Amino acid sequence: MEHIRTPKVEQVKLLDRFSNKSVIGTLHLTATHLIFVESNSTSAQEIWILHHHIASMEKLSLTTSGCPLLIQCRNFRLVHFVIPRERDCHDIYSSLLRLLRPVSYDELYAFSYNPKQNDQQREEGWQLIDLAAEFERMGVPCDQWQLTDVNREYKRLPPNICIGLVKSVLPHLLCFYNVLQGGKCLYLFVSCLQAAVCRCSQPLSGFSARCLEDEHMLQAISKANHNSRYIYVMDTRPKLNALANRAAGKGYENEDNYSNIRFQFVGIENIHVMRGSLQKLLEVVGTRSLSMTDYLVGLENSGWLRHIKAIMDAAIFLAKAVTVEGASVLVHCSDGWDRTAQVCALGSLLMDPYYRTIKGFMVLIEKDWISFGHKFADRCDQLDPDQKEVSPIFTQFLECVWQLTEQFPQAFEFSEWFLIQIHEHVHSCQFGNFLGNSQRQREVLQLKERTYSLWAHLLSEKQNYMNPVYSPSFAESHPVLEPSTQACHFKFWRNMYHQYDRSMHPRQSILKQVLTFKESNRELEGTVQALKTKLQKFGVSTSPLKPQTPPRDQEAREDAPASTDGERTVEGSSATENGYGELTGSFGSKNEPAVVTLEFGVARMTC
Amino acid sequence: MEFAELIKTPRVDGVVLRRPFMPTVEGTLCLTGHHLILSSRQDNTEELWLLHANIDSTEKRFVGSLGTIIVKCKDLRVIQLDIPGMEECLNIASSIEALSTLDSVSLMYPFFYRPLFEVIEDGWQSFVPEESFKDLESMTDEWRLSEVNKDFSVCPSYPSLLTVPRDIDDESLCKAASFRHGGRFPVLSYYHKKNGMVIMRAAQPLTGTNGRRCKEDEKLINATLCAGKRGYIIDTRTIAVAQQAKARGGGFEQEANYPQWRRIHKAIERSNVLQDSLIKLVEACNDQSHSMDRWLSKLEASNWQSNVKEILTTACLAAQCIDREGASVLVHGTEGTDSTLQVTSLAQIILDPACRTIRGFEVLIEREWLQAGHPFQQRCAQSAYSNGKLRSEAPVFLLFLDCVWQILRQFPCSFQFNENLLIMLFEHAYASQFGTFLGNCVAERGKLQLSQKTVSLWSWVNRPQELERFLNPLYEPNNLVIWPSVAPQSLLLWEGVFLRWNRSTKCLDEAYQEMVHIIEYNKELQNKVNSLRRQLAQLETEDKMVADLK
């Protein structure tokens, strides 16, 4: 609190990003949030911005109406305040500057956040997603593969956990392997074809170095799979990058030294290119009165969708190698925690329907991203930022999943709101899951004792993230997803990158509407049951209602069904807000107060 | 002329049909006067029935004696026919070529088509101008129905009955007509119930280089303004294009002569540019190269999405003038048969909830497109695969449908119809068994005797069996004005039309069915609850009566 110089500033103007609209309100600064409360009592919009979400701030030059302060958030919110007095603006600015640069992990919101749960609830929350149970689901360990705790002390390797397996007869098996040499850390997916997906970092080959143990290791993996005589080695980097790494004593596998490998470059760019790409994208879509030409040219120049497609292509290659050829695949990039995580996680999602459920998706993230040491703290700029380490690697993964949900609307148990909410909390530092860079660091921080788990929070709100048209039987007909990779099927994810720009969204949401219907169906089924029970008391036998979906909740409800018509408000819809054109001069435009109802799950702030 | 003369080889066996995302079919190819038919002669295999009129262009290739004809259709589908035998292939190709480019309208399929369904409601009689005028009359007495164009002599492209200000006599109308391109003097397009403001449409005024003026024209449009009120003239051309038009005798309204009107220029593209845009867009969509940069740059270069944005923006502007500024609007471009109609009809969809029902939308198309004289036959003669020999083809109507789809996407619960209706209209505008879209204006349709000799599309669409396919399960009447977003991020590529044949829609269709299913189940449950409640209430009353008696 000692950093807050001005806790409250009145008469602050909030400018809309894309139109000429503005509202007046009061700005509050707390230890965790920056809060804007609109003065207009009828609409009284509130904006809560978590300090951790602020990516950058800019004080623009003084204008007649005050001092403008531009705040860009990591969840793609951009707010433009005009503070009447320069001094207040400076105070807010410098207070925030200190608040959004926490020096130690202890300062992160997760350590002060308390959802009013006791210790037992907290513990239960952390146990919801259990990797040990996940191995059990996959039938590991078994006669062919065993777990190893060689990395128990996190000493031998970059901080990762490690478990080794070699073969399983069970379908859809995911596991970890660890070799001592070359910093390899393997992770296996063994399908019913007994093919395995392994992950590691680049070999320290340089121009000529060899490591016999490493070569034997690969051979062992290859031999464990009787279906295929060869093993694919996917280097997810562009060839040029891999070659450049050679000079630093790293590099890629030499096909002459490894027997029966098929080496393949995939060409996903590195974290710096991705960071630049997102920056360009946001710059383009943040332009006011953007023309269609500038938008499409900007989209192309940013390269963003090209990168998304490259990741998807790599994951499809992986899935095909395993499911069609029955071959094992070893995936690596440079460090093995960025591109490798993207490709392995997405590949698993394509191959195993379990990961397309809400819980399965949490397991996938926990396993492929968190436990394998994706450097969330660095990539998401949690602490003491080195801007060169920041990169939207995880965001890209979420977007790839979204692209899949667009092509396969029935394959996923969750909707895009789930993905957006996860994205929100990866950056919020409100829950412990994503803090730190590695498993070791998380243990040191005692996250499980001192913070809460996001997964418990999300599961408690599961209803909001459901995909109403999800069909569990889809998994049976499509165990492996085969998305189209034609460029025209990749779309700009407006609901992510413009999640706070309500004026760009459809004014009525099909998703929300169908969810309401689904919820209403559940309640009505209960009502029917209750009415039948009552009728039976009168000795009337009723014909059983054939539920087309199995009733999940048999709890009798007496009350009338909630309004099934749902909300059909046309939200935030006004002509002036859309800025169609230039009606000026003697014909002044009238502004109409637009009621902006923040749609649940999209623009909601948990606090 | 006998069609048989054009058919050199009526039947070929062993033809293989290849279509993307569908299994190949081998069977017998038959050519009739109006159809290309492929049948496998097996019960369960799908047959191909393709109207010759639907064929946009063909290409032939030979490998040895195996000939291949690639048929590109106006609905954007591309199919491949492998025909054994060079002579057969050449004969088939030349027959298709001849049959798909018949010049005479009266040889078109609608004149030969006999419906297999009973016509319950004749679509030719469904939309009578007198009917809609009655509605108008109940709201205001400032307008009248004029028969000045009874014999189509004042304006050949207008219908015989027109709604004009009550105070303007027919003589003035004739004078105003002589001052407007093609005789298209300002007429009523839409009356906004809420505030009595109107949209009018016309063609450009013929001011020429020496600034001609016409008192009657000025009086005519001023008659629509209330005392002290001002209005907007939306010229769909840029000021530069409008200036150039002066040299050819056209022009725009001078401020000095129309002091009560403020002119706004927008930049909606002209027909040949639009056709080019469509050709480029479809080429981009059919590109199988899988390169993201190539796709985006081709999509951009086609300019299609820019056109959608510009048209929608102009329509929103017109609607904004009416609803927000409380000012009347006159819309025109050059001829008043293309961009003008896009703007006036889209503005009505934004403003008037009635246009968002199926019936209302049909009325809108009938009134603002067919009766208003959009030259369908010229514009839709060729589609995206046309090569070279273009006359006046342009996807003006398709762009309008695309814009409607954009609004539908943004307000998915506010329309009684779904995307299928829009796609169906696109198909039938280009090739159809129905006579509705034949001819270029009311006068031509009268001469062709379409209402006697052909079946109306509406007779078919309005059958309950067909309507079901076009209903939007999410529809909930919404009486508000709906303001769509025109930000580029909010406008999408209309995949249902442009990627329709380049993707497998099975997953999307099934998801849609599931949504329909959830909503239907909800209705069913509601009914069930209501009937159980009634039953219970009855029993309880009876019970109480028994208790009371005791």
Which chain A residues are closer than 8 Å to B501 by Cβ? Answer: none
Q: How far is A401 from chain B (nearest CA, A)?
A: 16
HSE-CB at A256 with a 13 A cutoff on CA atoms is 5
Q: What is the pLDDT of residue B400?
A: 98
Q: What is the pLDDT of residue B329?
A: 96
Distances (CA, A) of A313 to A223, A331, A395, B385: 27, 14, 17, 31
B320 versus A502: which is more confidently predicted? B320
Domain contains B338: yes
Question: Mapped to the 3 state alphabet, what secondary structure does A152-208 carry?
Answer: CCCCCCCCCCCCCCCCCCCCCEEEEEECCHHHCEEEEEECCCCCCEEEECCCCCCCC
- Please name the member of A291, A306, A506 whose beta carbon is closest to the beta carbon of B292: A306
How many beta-carbon pairs below 8 A join chains A and B?
228
Q: Which residue is closest to B307 within chain A, CA to CA?
A: A292
Domain contains B261: yes
State whether B439 and B481 are in the same domain: yes
Q: How far is A253 from chain B (nearest CA, A)?
A: 28
Q: Which residue is closest to B299 within chain A, CA to CA?
A: A296
Interface test with B, best of A486, A503, A511, A567 (most B CBs within 10 A): A486
- Please name the member of B297, B319, B488 whose beta carbon is closest to the beta carbon of A290: B488
State whether B414 and B495 are in the same domain: yes
Q: In B264-292, which positions are buried (b, 16+ CB within 10 angstroms) versus exposed (e)?
A: bbbbbbbbeebbebbbbbbebbbbeeeeb
A304 vs B: CB within 8 A:
no
Cβ(A390)–Cβ(A381) below 8 Å: yes
Interface test with A, best of B298, B528, B545, B546 (most A CBs within 10 A): B528
**Is domain A8-101 annotated with CATH 2.30.30.90?**
no
Q: Where are the alpha helices (DSSP H) in A451-605?
A: 454-460, 462-465, 472-477, 494-497, 510-537, 575-578
Q: What is the pLDDT of residue A586?
A: 37
Residue B367 pLDDT exceeds 90: yes
Residue B101 pLDDT exceeds 50: yes
Q: What is the pLDDT of residue A541?
A: 64
| Average pLDDT rounded to a whole number, residues B265-278 | 93
Q: Render pLDDT for B437-456 as a digit per residue (tens, 0 to 9).
A: 999 999 999 999 999 999 99
* Beta strands B66-73 and A328-332, pairing class: unpaired
Query: For the packed helices B292-302 and A304-323, what is the interaxial angle rounded to 10 degrees?
Result: 130
Of A113, A9, A111, which Cα lies nearest the Cα of A66?
A9
Which regions of chain A are under pLDDT 70? 1-2, 138-195, 385, 541-579, 581-607
- Please name the member of A292, A494, A540 whose beta carbon is closest to the beta carbon of B305: A292
Interface test with B, best of A301, A304, A508 (most B CBs within 10 A): A508
DSSP code of residue A54: E
The verdict on a CB contact (< 8 Å) between A505 and B288 is no
Q: Which residue is closest to A592 within chain B, CA to CA?
A: B324
Q: What is the pLDDT of residue A585?
A: 40
Distances (CA, A) of A505 to A106, A133, B135, B139: 38, 40, 35, 36
Q: How far is B485 from chain A (nearest CA, A)?
A: 6
Share of chain B above pLDDT 70, in %: 99
Which chain B residues are closer than 8 Å to A411 by Cβ? Answer: 507
Q: Render pLDDT for B468-482 as a digit per residue (tens, 0 to 9).
A: 999 999 999 999 999
Query: For the packed helices A304-323 and A271-285, what is the interaxial angle rounded to 10 degrees?
Result: 130
Number of other CB atoms surrounding residue A484 within 10 Å: 17
| Average pLDDT rounded to a whole number, residues B101-127 | 90
Q: What is the pLDDT of residue A144?
A: 58
Specify the number of domains making up chain B: 3
The CATH number for B8's domain is 2.30.29.30
Interface test with A, best of B499, B515, B541 (most A CBs within 10 A): B515
DSSP code of residue A369: I
Q: What is the pLDDT of residue B355?
A: 96
Cβ(A30)–Cβ(A48) below 8 Å: no
Domain contains B108: no
Which chain A residues are closer than 8 Å to B292 by Cβ? Answer: 300, 305-306, 309, 487, 490
State whether B166 and B59 are in the same domain: no
A18 vs B: CB within 8 A:
yes
State whether B478 and B530 are in the same domain: no
- Please name the member of A309, A508, A513 whose beta carbon is closest to the beta carbon of B292: A309
Q: Which residue is closest to B492 within chain A, CA to CA?
A: A491
The verdict on a CB contact (< 8 Å) between A469 and B288 is no
Question: Mapped to the 3 state alphabet, what secondary structure does A245-268 carry?
Answer: HHCCCCCCCCCCCCCCEEEEECCC
Cβ(A181)–Cβ(A209) below 8 Å: no
The sign of the dihedral angle between the CA atoms of B131, B132, B138, B140 is negative
Cβ(A176)–Cβ(A340) below 8 Å: no
Q: How far apart are CA A431 and CA A365, in angstroms?
A: 15
Containing A67, the helix (H) or strand (E) segment is strand A67-73
Which chain A residues are closer than 8 Å to B280 by Cβ? Answer: none
Q: What is the pLDDT of residue A480?
A: 92
State whether B512 and B475 are in the same domain: no
The verdict on a CB contact (< 8 Å) between A513 and B412 is yes
Tokens 């569990």 — which residue?
Answer: A472
The sign of the dihedral angle between the CA atoms of B153, B159, B160, B162 is negative
The ipTM is 0.93
State whether B392 and B379 are in the same domain: yes
Q: What is the pLDDT of residue A143?
A: 56
- Please name the member of B474, B511, B536 whose beta carbon is closest to the beta carbon of A531: B536
Of B458, B266, B437, B457, which Cα lies nearest the Cα of B347?
B266
A596 vs B: CB within 8 A:
no
Q: Render pLDDT for B489-528 as a digit per residue (tens, 0 to 9).
A: 999 999 999 999 988 889 999 999 999 999 999 999 999 9
The verdict on a CB contact (< 8 Å) between B491 and A292 is yes
The verdict on a CB contact (< 8 Å) between A531 and B529 is yes
Residue ranges at the known binding site of A for substrate: 270-271, 333-339
Of B52, B67, B102, the one marking the end of a domain is: B102
Q: Render pLDDT for A54-93 as a digit per residue (tens, 0 to 9).
A: 999 999 998 888 999 999 999 999 999 999 999 999 999 9
State whether B45 and B190 are in the same domain: no
Which chain B residues are closer than 8 Å to A408 by Cβ? Answer: 507
- Please name the member of B262, B292, B303 whose beta carbon is closest to the beta carbon of A487: B292
Q: How far apart are CA B390 and CA B419, in angstroms?
A: 29
3-state secondary structure of B533: helix
Q: What is the pLDDT of residue A146?
A: 60
Q: Which residue is closest to B286 within chain A, CA to CA?
A: A488
Q: Where are the alpha helices (DSSP H) in B214-269?
A: 215-222, 239-247
Q: How far apart are CA A212 and CA A215, in angstroms?
A: 5
Cβ(B179)–Cβ(B205) below 8 Å: yes
Q: Which residue is closest to A412 within chain B, CA to CA?
A: B511
Q: What is the pLDDT of residue A607?
A: 31
Q: How far apart are CA B231 and CA B208, in angstroms?
A: 23
A288 vs B: CB within 8 A:
no
- Which of 544-583 (A) contact B at CB < 8 A? 545, 548-549, 561, 564-565, 568, 570, 573-578, 580-583
Domain coverage including residue B272: 129-503
The verdict on a CB contact (< 8 Å) between B410 and A508 is yes
Q: How far apart are CA B33 and CA B440, in angstroms?
A: 24
| Average pLDDT rounded to a whole number, residues B256-271 | 93
The verdict on a CB contact (< 8 Å) between A585 and B507 is no
Q: What is the pLDDT of residue B289?
A: 80
Please report, for chain A, the start and end positions of each structural domain, with discontinuous segments joined by +. 8-101, 119-510
Q: How far apart are CA A84 and CA A99, in angstroms?
A: 22
- pLDDT band at residue B540, thresholds of 50, 70 and 90? confident
The verdict on a CB contact (< 8 Å) between A578 and B296 is no
Contacts of A463 (CB under 8 A, 6+ apart): A519
Domain contains B190: yes
Rounded (5°) CA angle B23-B29-B33? 130
Which chain B residues are closer than 8 Å to A290 by Cβ? Answer: 487-489
State whether B379 and B466 are in the same domain: yes
Q: What is the pLDDT of residue B333?
A: 94
DSSP code of residue A366: I
The verdict on a CB contact (< 8 Å) between B293 and A542 is no
State whether B197 and B239 are in the same domain: yes
State whether B487 and B521 are in the same domain: no
Cis peptide bond upstream of A141, omega within 30: yes
End-to-end CA distance of chain A: 18
Dihedral pair phi/psi, residue A546, rounded to 5°: -85, 100
Question: Mapped to the 3 state alphabet, what secondary structure does A263-282 carry?
Answer: EEECCCCCHHHHHHHHHHHH
Q: What is the pLDDT of residue B223?
A: 92
Which chain B residues are closer than 8 Å to A578 by Cβ? Answer: 316, 483-487
| Average pLDDT rounded to a whole number, residues B317-325 | 95
State whether B438 and B545 are in the same domain: no
Cβ(B210)–Cβ(B185) below 8 Å: no
Q: What is the pLDDT of residue A151?
A: 58
For the record, the structure tokens of A171 come out as 């379908």
Q: Which residue is closest to A491 within chain B, CA to CA?
A: B492
Containing B146, the helix (H) or strand (E) segment is strand B143-146
Q: How far apart are CA A68 and CA B292, in angstroms?
A: 38
State whether B96 and B186 are in the same domain: no
The verdict on a CB contact (< 8 Å) between A296 and B305 is yes
Cβ(A441)–Cβ(A421) below 8 Å: no
Q: How far is B264 from chain A (nearest CA, A)?
A: 9
The verdict on a CB contact (< 8 Å) between A531 and B499 is no
Q: Which residues of A are known to be catalytic?
A: 333
Q: Which residue is closest to A408 within chain B, CA to CA?
A: B507
Residue ranges at the known binding site of A: 270-271, 333-339
Containing B276, the helix (H) or strand (E) segment is helix B271-286
Which chain A residues are closer than 8 Å to B291 by Cβ? Answer: 487
Domain contains B116: no
Dihedral pair phi/psi, residue B14, rounded to 5°: 70, 35
